[in-house]
Amino acid sequence: MKNLFLLFILIELPFAVLSANHKDILQQEALETGLAQSLVKDFSELGFPDYDDRNFWNSLPSVLCEEYINDAEKYLDYDWPAVKATDYLEIIRSGDRRQEVYAAPRAALTALVMGELAEGKGRFIDQIVNGVWYYSEQTWWGWSAHITIQKAPHGLPDTDEPVIDLGVGEITNILSWTWFLFKNTFDEIHPLIAKRLKNEILKKAVIPFYERDDFWWMGFDGSRSVNNWNPWTNHNMLTAILILEDDQAQKLKGVMKVIRSLDVFVNGYPADGGCDEGPSYWRRAGASLFQCIDLLNRATRGKFDVYDKQLIQRMGSYIYKAYIDYPYFINFADADATTDSSPQIIYSYGKAIGDTTMQKFGSFMARKQDWGERTPGGKIDEQIMQLIHLEEIISSPAENALISDFWLPDTEVAGARDQEG
């Protein structure tokens, strides 16, 4: 019989957060570790495999390669759909976000890229080029529901004011990785492909990020609290800056801006590390923050390291504290009862902070999701990270995280079992 799991959500206790004591732990770390001297000059120094690293791609389990290739083959004749003016306008006419209009080509490009990486024969390159050109021609990469962040009237994107929302961030990340992986291949086809792609990413996302401080998710004007938009979008911007920025001084400024914005998020986080939107939002809150910290750690050859900070540790361990039993999590606030939980991030986060319970939980979740037998999901960078750590994760000790009890006084959530395990 399953152990009894009791949940208490308290609503009348004082809400104490770190916002009253701005610690700015990321900026302090950047200063103490000499970010200006330690930041790498080229993204290739981070050690990620590119398209030409056939030793890595050929070493993947054949079952995964076959699945990647089969998925990509579905898009060999894909007709890249135009995003029409009426698709955008539907948000003010009926309230329909038309999310499928944005999701389908994003899935197509991701599948084609992963299929070509797995196969390495050039069979999917032309369609990848078509996808790159498709996004280069697109007016805006965001989601229609978010056009309200521009100054012009809602309904259609203003080309004179490129704004950054979640959608822009996601496409920026995907296209930046596509540029990194296939730049040389693109240049062999035509020198304008990679050049155009880089210019469009800079114009639509990176330069607006440099020039503007008033996007609410950055948190600089203090007009409203930030949420998971902050680490989620900052991770995508950090990725693009590290990959595409040639000017080292500008790269440093851009990275420092990401760090300053992330500190707004961290400063306002509950001291107990709880995600007040619920566990399913942790994927783009604490987990996205870890992705940022991990990139900063890699981009400084391990010098940028805040894993010993108690709040960072608590933001990680929250995910197994708010866990019931596979596949269920406590669905308080706006959260779903289940979540894919991102095993690689859980494992790597736990390893980084020295939390063996979290590390084993990540390995356990990977096994439950049949890692090694089916392709992982996520954006291109997330799938590559999962593949890099695949063998380590599935061969490491795994254990279901059934702790006896937890109490998050600031988030006002508690849970208990009749016994651990």
CA distances for 266 relative to 95, 110, 166, 185, 321, angstroms: 33, 31, 19, 40, 19
CB-based contact 420:403 (threshold 8 Å) = yes
Q: Give me the pLDDT at residue 295, please.
A: 99
With CA atoms as reference, report the closest residue to 264 among 24, 32, 30, 35: 24
196: Cα separation from own chain's centroid: 25
Q: Give me the pLDDT at residue 337, please.
A: 86
The pTM of the full predicted model, rounded to 2 decimals, is: 0.94
The stretch 56-85 carries a mean pLDDT of: 97
**For 254-269, what is each residue's pLDDT tens digit?**
999 999 999 999 999 9
Q: Give me the pLDDT at residue 1, please.
A: 37
**For 350-379, what is each residue's pLDDT tens digit?**
999 999 999 999 999 999 999 989 988 899
Q: Give me the pLDDT at residue 17, please.
A: 41
**For 100-129, what is each residue's pLDDT tens digit?**
889 999 999 999 999 999 999 999 999 999
Mean pLDDT of the chain: 93
Task: Compute the distance between CA of residue 107 and CA of residue 310 in angstroms, rounded to an integer.
Answer: 37
Instruction: Assign 398 a pLDDT band (cuts: 50, 70, 90).
Output: very high
Q: Is the per-residue pLDDT at 13 higher than 60?
A: no
Q: Give me the pLDDT at residue 5, please.
A: 53
The stretch 289-296 carries a mean pLDDT of: 99
The stretch 335-344 carries a mean pLDDT of: 86
Instruction: Assign 242 a pLDDT band (cuts: 50, 70, 90).
Output: very high
